[in-house]
Amino acid sequence: MSPLMGPGPEAEFKSFLRQGRFMIQRSRTTGRHVLYPRIALPASGETDLEWVTPSGIGTVHAITVNRAREGSYNIALVELDEGPRMMTRIDGVESVPIGTRVTARIVEIGGEPAVVFVVAGRAS
Amino acid sequence: MPAHPLRGRTAIAGIGAAGWGEAPGRTAMELMAEASLSAIADAGLKLGDIDAICAATSTHAFPTLSVAEYLGIKPRFFDGTNIGGASFEMHLLHAALALDAKLCDAVLICYGSNQRTAGGRLVSMSEAQWHEAPYRPRHPITAYALATSRHMHQYGTTRSDLADIALAARGWANLNPMAFARGPLTKAEVLASRMVSDPLSSRDCCLVTDGGAACVMVRADRASHLPRPPVFLLGAAGAHSHRSITQMADLTVSVATESGPRAFEMAALSRADVDLVMLYDAFTITTLMFLEDLGFCPKGEGGRFVQGGAIAPGGRLAVNTSGGGLSCVHPGMYGMFLIHEAVTQIRGDAGARQITNCDVAICHGNGGTFSSQVTALLGSASTL
């Protein structure tokens, strides 16, 4: 079957999440990871992407707290140890210092699974 | 090195404004059309002379079609490039290319929005990014707040530094009768303003106003025979870096570091030649980062550079003399308003806020979430 006949990387990523798995792509030849999921590595164009399980560990790269009448919540950029950065939230705290080590977990947001992070080493 | 072939080949011959601040009962198209007619009249031209349109708005899917129909223009050249607020600086370059190639003779570049009276919230057609959506970012402020958090972390930039930028903008606005937010403002008030998205508070955010602005560009030879002093396009260049803030390579560096040098090279100018600095100030952090990224101070020094009124009236560098998006006008997409002020200053028409010997202005547009950067250099006849 042509690769174009099956689900694309975005659908695959979401499908993994629904199975409770946080997966990211890595190029076999370059070893480079990419997130959000794509059909090829940006800039260099390798299409030899495979799904791998990341360590789930990362570092808070930037963070803000959105102040809203309905309740405040944080929005963070976490840099995974594998390299890519992703938008997420840090659960269990209002905010954390940039540089804080965090661990991924999958929770349900609005009825869909999503990857959030908690401070590493902290019991949930 | 020979001058770039586009340097000084085209000029802004007319500018127009409409409904800055609050324009109750007016639609975005009415404001855009009023500003356009004003710009055409200012250029000493008739509506029928316009044979090209560049436009981008927050509310029209096909803005050049909408403007052309409304005004009854049959454009030979049209460009609806939409890269957010920097679109209009890019339109200057595209208009110059089209004029120089004689694809058209008179280009109208225009914008209009009624987003203050239509709801008082920023209107955007920007679609959510699927991988960001679960975390409910409130763009654009979320992205700019994230970048600010990083700048503070890496360089020790403070909320007090950012407040100096808001105060400078207000200082200029107080000299501009067209500015919407005028009146005294203290640093204590800025620092005590409501936190919106840490570390950005309400006074770090641009206004949400109504307003239209437009300009008319022609070839330089024709501009010299029109009534107003021509303001020449000396150089312009743009750059893309990302669509989602997650993909911005370095949250503290915009690709103004690419557009700026390219524009200066085309203009055969350096920063020392610049008399007026117009920087897209959607948030205080954007002014600060563009001062760094365009080389007016070293990376990381923006906070210290703006301290103590350095960019306020009477300071060492004239920045955003209209009062900017922070205190003058910001109807969603602000790029056209940078150009309006630069032309006003170069003509010497800026009244109480007029800076002395304004021959070269830099207009730096920003779009998306630090996503697109376009730098344009405008100059008086003495720069040719």
pLDDT of residue B125: 78
- Angstroms from A98 CA to nearest CA on chain B: 7
CA dihedral A37, A38, A42, A45 (to 10 degrees): 140
User: From chain B, which residues contact A within 8 Å (Cβ)?
Assistant: 130-132, 134-138, 142, 145-150, 153, 194-200, 244-247, 251
Per-residue confidence band for A3, with pLDDT thresholds at 50, 70 and 90:
low
Which residue is closest to A69 within chain B, CA to CA?
B196
Give alpha helix (H) positions in chain B: 28-42, 63-71, 87-100, 141-155, 159-173, 187-192, 220-223, 256-267, 284-293, 302-305, 324-327, 335-347
Provide the 10 A C-beta neighbour count for residue B51: 18
Chain A residues closer than 8 Å to B202 by CB: none
Query: What letter would DSSP give residue B246?
Result: G
Q: Kindly list the distances between the CA atom of residue B29 and the CA atoms of B111, B187, B358, in Å, as whole numbers in the listed order.
A: 9, 38, 33
Say which of A10, A62, A73 has its CB closest to residue B130. A10
Among A36, A64, A109, the residue with its CB nearest the CB of B142 is: A64
Q: Specify whether the CB–CB gap between B64 and B348 falls below 8 A.
A: no
Q: Count Cβ atoms within 10 A of the Cβ of residue B271 and give its class: 0-12 exposed, 13-18 middle, 19 or more buried.
A: middle
What pLDDT does A121 receive? 77
Q: What is the ipTM of this complex?
A: 0.95
Distance from CA of B137 to the nearest CA of A (A): 7
- The answer to whether the CB atoms of B135 and A88 lie below 8 A apart is yes
First-to-last alpha carbon distance for chain B, in angstroms, is 15
Q: What is the pLDDT of residues B216-235, one digit of tens each?
A: 999 999 999 999 999 999 99
Ramachandran class of A22: left when φ > 0, alpha when ψ lies in -120 to 50, beta otherwise: beta
pLDDT at B379: 98
Closest Cα in chain A, distance from residue B136 (Å): 8
Shortest distance, CA A27 to any CA of chain B (angstroms): 18
Residue of B nearest to A13 (CA): B131
Residue A122's pLDDT band, with cuts at 50, 70 and 90, is low
Q: What is the pLDDT of residue B1?
A: 64
Residues of chain B under the 50 pLDDT cut: none
Residue A5 has a pLDDT of: 77
The tokens describing B107, both together, are: 């280009």
CB half-sphere exposure, B50, CA atoms < 13 A: 32
DSSP 8-class letter at A90: B
Alpha-carbon distances, residue A105 vs A124, B144, B318 (angstroms)? 10, 26, 49
Is B125 in contact with B252 (CB distance < 8 Å)? no
Nearest one of B373, B371, B379, B302 to B335, comparing CA atoms: B373
Of A36, A66, A110, the CB nearest to B142: A66
- Mutation choice for B interface testing from A25, A35, A64, A94 by most B CBs within 10 A: A64
pLDDT at B3: 85
Q: Rounded to an integer, what distance in angstroms lies between the CA atom of residue B341 and that of residue B320?
A: 8
pLDDT for A2? 53
Contacts of B64 by beta carbon, 8 Å cutoff, 6+ apart: B53, B54, B55, B75, B78, B79, B80
CA distance B319 to B335: 15
Residue A105 near residue A116, CB atoms below 8 Å: yes
Neighbours of A36 (CB within 10 A): 19
Number of Cβ pairs closer than 8 Å across A and B? 76
Please state, in angstroms and rounded to a whole number, the distance separating the CA atoms of residues B91 and B73: 18
Structure tokens at B194: 């409501």
The H or E element spanning position B110 is strand B107-113
pLDDT at A1: 46
